[in-house]
Structure 1
Amino acid sequence: MTKIDSITVDIIENALKNIKEEMDVTLFRSAMSPVIREQHDCFPMITDAEGKMVVGNFGSHIPEVTNQFPEGMHEGDVIFVSDPYSCGGSVSHVNDWMIILPIFHQKKLVGYSSMFGHVIDVGGPVPSSMPVTATSIYGEGIRFPPVKLYDKGVLNEAIIKIIKANTRTPLENYSDLMALVASCRTAEKRVKELCERFGEEPYAEALDALLDRTEKMMRHLIANFLPTTPVSFEDYIDDDGLNNGPFKMKLTMWREGDNAYFDWTGTDEQAPGPINYYLSEPMFKMFIGSFLISVYDPAINFNDGFYDLLHIETPEGTLMQPKSPAALGCRTHALSRLFDVLSGVLAVNSPESSPAAGYGTSPYFIFSGIDEKDRPFNLMEVMYGGLPGRPIGDGLDGHSWWPAFVNIPTEYLETYYPLMVNSYKTGTDSGGAGKNRGGNCNEKLYTILSSGIISIHDDRAKIQPWGINGGEPGSSSSKVLIKKDGTQIPLPSKVDNVEVEKGDQILFITGGSGGYGNPLERDPEKVRLDVARGLVSKEKALKSYGVQLDGQLEVDHKETESIRAQMAKENGEPESFNFGDRDQVLVKL
């Protein structure tokens, strides 16, 4: 048999990438909850027959789940799972619903399609099912271990009844579940078409070639960019919502030949509150690969081919590998902070090659109640913040960690929920100063139009996002309840059941991000543009960048040169990492 040619491999690779995009489109057009439909909180995947991810956005969990079915997989089967402890953390809290669909061609298993998305409510004591005060997963809503939603094509109606009886949003949840299934069926149809076009064996050979290609390229990255001597880095989560904390996340990294090792030893013990993150080893390998590929060689296809080159040690009973039944609902703080820690450990020996720290969490604004027309409502909105300054340019302002996520349109919010968005903007001066500026935070002001309760999930309120290679740290997050009489009440970064009345306002400010490089090396014209656009104040332009602007916001080049020379003399050599006031904050906490 002739080895498959590279052109056919490329054609199949691009076809699979297009199928993944079609999975997303199918889901967005079918789901009902705004978190999936509008914000795109979902992750598709297509695997080979062994369950190895060939294209997708998260590490493969297929074998761990399918092995729980001794009767095996059959055409028409659809697996449903939402319990992190039953699938090795492939979904990380019970709001994430995952569908796995085996793909058969002429009665032969050729792969799997999978999709998971964040559904808006799965029961429990508070709307949207992520209680800040949860101390075990039993208090976070209903969860499903791997079960067959469809068994040889027959829908298990009992599962649907259980789902509808245990949520505040039965219609949305049912629609989202069926949309996840439809998305996977779309992939099933397209993969079968590829098998018809190229044949089963050439299709399988192409998948092997794609996995092998990525493995070879990743070996090169590891051998050329990772250190042989272990290096460590740590960052902190403010608290767990129950007045415990801060919580340290520590990662040590090294390589042996072309294999890389990552060890979470030194990370704090699991939290009493729900910030624990049950870290899936394949998913963490995906994060590592995604980071290395995006930093060093974005042309590499992203799949499971390199997983055998990565070795992970995560001590049990820690924040990153909690023991059941630890609460997991607010795990996005650790999940997002993981990227800051990974960035930091890769930067220890080469801060000039790595980005700074970002807003380091996934903020949530939750608003629920009964409107004035006696209709129940339940809004959960994912908020964004500043992405870090990078070697290649400025950080993004008010952006999600996940590239595919987008905002819920204001028109959608104001049409379907009793609130008004007064303003939505980036926060001036919130991005750390640097040769490449850190991205600014988001500032969003809501007016409440019907009484209800709100919940807030955020972090980086106490410990700033650090700057790198001479860059300054970014700003912290904050929240304020502005009563209709004008009284301002500061709110914690993690809080449930805050009562609001018609006419009250919520000011939701997320974290900024750290800057990259010496601010005195930033082009004065870029500083002038930042000031003109409201991203940087005239005062910060002078204080941090040494740029003197006149009344018309034009650069006074002679004065700027003099100021910068004096500042450079006073500042001395730039620091590799600038943690702001972290040490003082940690002492106080």
Structure 2
Amino acid sequence: MSTTVDPITLDLIENALVNARSEMDSVVVRVALSPVIREQHDAFPMVCNPAGQMIVGQFGSYIPAIVEQYGDNIHEGDIFVWNDPYACKGSISHNNDWCVMLPIYHEGVHVGFSSMFGHMVDVGGKVPGSMPSDSRTIWEEGLRVPPVKIFEKGQMNEGVLAIMLNNSRTPDMNRADLMALIAGCRTAAKRVNEVCDRFGRDTYLAACDKLLDRTREAMRVLIRNYIPEEAVSFTDYVDDDGLGNGPFKMHLSIYRRGDIAVFDWTGTDDQAEGPINFHIHEGLCKLFFGVYMIMAFDPKIMFNEGFYDLFEIVLPEGSLLNPRFPAALSNRLNTHTRFFDCQAGALGQRAPHLSMAAGYGTSPHFIFTGKDSNGKYFQLMELLFGGVPGRPLGDGFDGHAWWPLFSATPIEYIENYYPVMVESYRPVRDAGGAGLHRGGAGIEKIYRVLEAGSISIHDDRETVPPWGINGGLHGGTSSKWLQRAGSETRERIASKLDNLHVEPGDKIIFITAGSGGWGDPLDRPVAAVERDVADDLVSVERAEQDYGVVFGPGKTLDEPASVTLREARKKERGEPAPFDFGFIPGVHAAE
């Protein structure tokens, strides 16, 4: 006889699990040492049922792939660790992500798993930070650890830990961050045991099943409402692979077959020579589509893996999204985030009122390494943010992360712990695509280094602009500049480079991409344009060019002239285009 769970108990257990997931984050932040995890929160927790399905979390479950390898050799007190994307079927996607998994037992009975992965500052390889922009194989990208037990029945495997730390330039940070992930998983196990004690183990397990079923039914409705039977397709591009090749096409077709949504990446370019390949797990692919549909169409739905059987994924082997071993993977985020843009572009064709434009399109990072005045090695790694796209509910965010829980590294932290001064940090004028709802602006961050060393930079959307939707215009692209000490000249440098030598007083100007606008910019309230001009987010020239809003001397709004110009522009232009891609070198012919 199956255990019944009343609605109130189900909600209590759901919220207990959601709180446990949040507590995992809090524990990790308190224990970790690296700025990437401690300050920027680049770590992702989840709690799963005994089958390894994610009940709460963000990145979806990779547990079945690990359980398949170990079978019955999983016991209470075991803790697993790994970082090799190819050894876990793409459940994590580059060597910097160290993943921890802990089986949860209640009174000797297996009731689930807790797991967490986080980005380690350095895992070896040929460059500091372990993300070379010019790698051709994963062998160049640092230590690869297959799923192994770092704890076996409660006893630490010191040999495994020693090997992992011995291959990093930042062993102290890595050790602290790894122990933080383990502590987070143990916290979740404790909370699950408390829920089982309070409500009964059978009730807890039945509630997990019901939470999956509820999400599945809600997703079935979304599929019926928003996925058409006739295929819709969309194409976007990654700039380059760091080795001079590109742009790289990503092509997505979406259609429905009964209750099954099919997401087909046929037509996507072959895997790259450089490290932008994204070895994505099929389940992770389903998760990304699911989270987009939930956030775009019904954010009240609980996010878990209950809907997986309603999705069918086609990932052509040997493509940018399913590369063959040993393809390089370290900078896969350029492809990863373009994945989201393709979803928005495809789904937005049938539900434009619920879709959004394209964003800054990667996870830009800045690495500065060297020795300080005391001869001590330092390695600063910072993730930077850009423009989050215009959307149905309003303007995009300026200088914001793609990932909801990420935050910028405090400037005080950087300047306190590293030989760097941050001279400026501000949004970029005119980087947000014009629209009824303006796209978010990229940011300009100016670093002045105080010691000699080397810098590495990884970014994208330098040549392929973030597109606008529903009449919105494309956003601004990224750029990077070097200004040597004592010089007033800025030298443009590549968006993907490693080990550029710098001397004290040199400045690095890091400009990220903006994002596309949503809706007709000629319909944007004049007061909103006036505010953007006052806040230096939009120039007077672009206000007139893109929005038809005229300013006189001293940035004084000329409202009658604006009304006349807007009416004339609309009559001359006609209906706005559904998408504005801008000019894409290598794709569009030069005018």
2:402 aligned partner: 401
1:198 aligned partner: 199
The residue correspondences of 1:64-75 to structure 2 (distance < 5 A) are: 64-75=65-76
SS state of the match for residue 255, structure 2? strand
1:255 aligned partner: 256
1:537 aligned partner: 539
Query: TM-score when scaled to structure 1?
Result: 0.98
1:383 aligned partner: 384
Structure 1 residue 252 displacement after superposition: 0.7
Alpha-carbon distance in structure 1 between the residues aligned to 2:589 and 2:370:
40
1:563 aligned partner: 565
Which residue identity is paired with 2:339?
A: L
1:497 aligned partner: 499
8 Å CA contact retained: 1:27, 1:183: yes
Alpha-carbon distance in structure 2 between the residues aligned to 1:145 and 1:558:
68
SS state of the match for residue 254, structure 1? strand
String of CA shifts for 1:427-459, please: whole Å, max 9, x gaps: 011000000000000100011100000000000
Aligned positions, number: 588
2:119 aligned partner: 118
Matching of residue 344 in structure 1 with residue 345 in structure 2: yes
Alpha-carbon distance in structure 2 between the residues aligned to 1:551 and 1:114:
59
Which residue identity is paired with 1:64?
A: A
1:418 aligned partner: 419
String of CA shifts for 1:451-494, please: whole Å, max 9, x gaps: 00000000000010001111110011000000013132111110
Structure 1 residue 87 displacement after superposition: 0.9
2:211 aligned partner: 210
Structure 1 residue 515 displacement after superposition: 0.3
The residue correspondences of 1:279-290 to structure 2 (distance < 5 A) are: 279-290=280-291
SS state of the match for residue 242, structure 2? coil
Alpha-carbon distance in structure 1 between the residues aligned to 2:184 and 2:370:
31
8 Å CA contact retained: 2:297, 2:354: no
Which residue identity is paired with 1:46?
A: V
Which residue identity is paired with 1:566?
A: A
8 Å CA contact retained: 2:81, 2:98: yes
The residue correspondences of 1:430-579 to structure 2 (distance < 5 A) are: 430-486=431-487, 487-551=489-553, 553-579=555-581
Alpha-carbon distance in structure 2 between the residues aligned to 1:539 and 1:493:
28
1:581 aligned partner: 583
8 Å CA contact retained: 2:277, 2:327: yes
Which residue identity is paired with 2:38?
A: R
Which residue identity is paired with 1:57?
A: Q
8 Å CA contact retained: 1:233, 1:348: no
Which residue identity is paired with 1:545?
A: Y
Alpha-carbon distance in structure 2 between the residues aligned to 1:159 and 1:583:
47
Structure 1 residue 242 displacement after superposition: 0.4
8 Å CA contact retained: 1:386, 1:396: yes
Structure 1 residue 405 displacement after superposition: 0.3
SS state of the match for residue 288, structure 2? helix
Alpha-carbon distance in structure 1 between the residues aligned to 2:65 and 2:298:
30
Alpha-carbon distance in structure 1 between the residues aligned to 2:321 and 2:159:
34
1:243 aligned partner: 244
8 Å CA contact retained: 1:59, 1:284: no
Structure 1 residue 350 displacement after superposition: 3.4
String of CA shifts for 1:38-66, please: whole Å, max 9, x gaps: 00001100011111100000111111111
Structure 1 residue 552 displacement after superposition: 5.2
Matching of residue 299 in structure 1 with residue 326 in structure 2: no
8 Å CA contact retained: 1:525, 1:555: no
Query: TM-score when scaled to structure 2?
Result: 0.98
Structure 1 residue 553 displacement after superposition: 4.0
8 Å CA contact retained: 1:426, 1:442: yes
1:159 aligned partner: 160
String of CA shifts for 1:21-42, please: whole Å, max 9, x gaps: 0000000010111000000001
String of CA shifts for 1:251-304, please: whole Å, max 9, x gaps: 111001221000111000000100000011111111111111111111000000
SS state of the match for residue 233, structure 2? strand
1:92 aligned partner: 93
SS state of the match for residue 179, structure 1? helix
SS state of the match for residue 551, structure 2? coil
Structure 1 residue 584 displacement after superposition: 6.5
Alpha-carbon distance in structure 2 between the residues aligned to 1:231 and 1:71:
44
Unaligned residue ranges in structure 1 (runs of 5+) = none
8 Å CA contact retained: 1:463, 1:585: no
Alpha-carbon distance in structure 2 between the residues aligned to 1:484 and 1:556:
44
Which residue identity is paired with 1:311?
A: E
Gap change, CA 1:80 and 1:242, over 3 Å in 2: same
SS state of the match for residue 385, structure 2? coil
Which residue identity is paired with 2:476?
A: S
Alpha-carbon distance in structure 2 between the residues aligned to 1:383 and 1:178:
26
Alpha-carbon distance in structure 2 between the residues aligned to 1:13 and 1:586:
50
Which residue identity is paired with 1:80?
A: V
1:320 aligned partner: 321
Alpha-carbon distance in structure 1 between the residues aligned to 2:51 and 2:525:
52
8 Å CA contact retained: 2:56, 2:303: yes
Structure 1 residue 504 displacement after superposition: 0.3
String of CA shifts for 1:536-584, please: whole Å, max 9, x gaps: 1111111111112344545332111101011112222100010111267
Alpha-carbon distance in structure 2 between the residues aligned to 1:586 and 1:560:
33
Which residue identity is paired with 2:424?
A: S
8 Å CA contact retained: 1:78, 1:101: yes
Structure 1 residue 86 displacement after superposition: 0.9
Alpha-carbon distance in structure 1 between the residues aligned to 2:584 and 2:396:
21
Alpha-carbon distance in structure 2 between the residues aligned to 1:586 and 1:330:
25
String of CA shifts for 1:75-117, please: whole Å, max 9, x gaps: 0000101000011111100000000000000110000000000
Alpha-carbon distance in structure 2 between the residues aligned to 1:138 and 1:168:
17
8 Å CA contact retained: 1:462, 1:585: no
Stretch deviating more after TM superposition (347-356 or 494-503) = 347-356
Alpha-carbon distance in structure 1 between the residues aligned to 2:206 and 2:199:
11
Alpha-carbon distance in structure 1 between the residues aligned to 2:75 and 2:353:
52
Unaligned residue ranges in structure 2 (runs of 5+) = none
SS state of the match for residue 245, structure 1? coil
Stretch deviating more after TM superposition (373-382 or 541-550) = 541-550
SS state of the match for residue 304, structure 1? coil
Alpha-carbon distance in structure 1 between the residues aligned to 2:10 and 2:461:
45
SS state of the match for residue 143, structure 1? coil
Alpha-carbon distance in structure 2 between the residues aligned to 1:405 and 1:423:
21
SS state of the match for residue 455, structure 2? strand
1:233 aligned partner: 234
Alpha-carbon distance in structure 2 between the residues aligned to 1:162 and 1:465:
42
**Aligned residues with identical type, % of pairs:** 53
Alpha-carbon distance in structure 2 between the residues aligned to 1:259 and 1:137:
35
1:131 aligned partner: 132
Alpha-carbon distance in structure 1 between the residues aligned to 2:549 and 2:71:
69
Alpha-carbon distance in structure 2 between the residues aligned to 1:264 and 1:64:
23
Alpha-carbon distance in structure 2 between the residues aligned to 1:328 and 1:20:
28
8 Å CA contact retained: 2:137, 2:328: yes
Alpha-carbon distance in structure 2 between the residues aligned to 1:20 and 1:523:
41
Structure 1 residue 527 displacement after superposition: 0.5
Stretch deviating more after TM superposition (351-360 or 115-124) = 351-360
1:369 aligned partner: 370
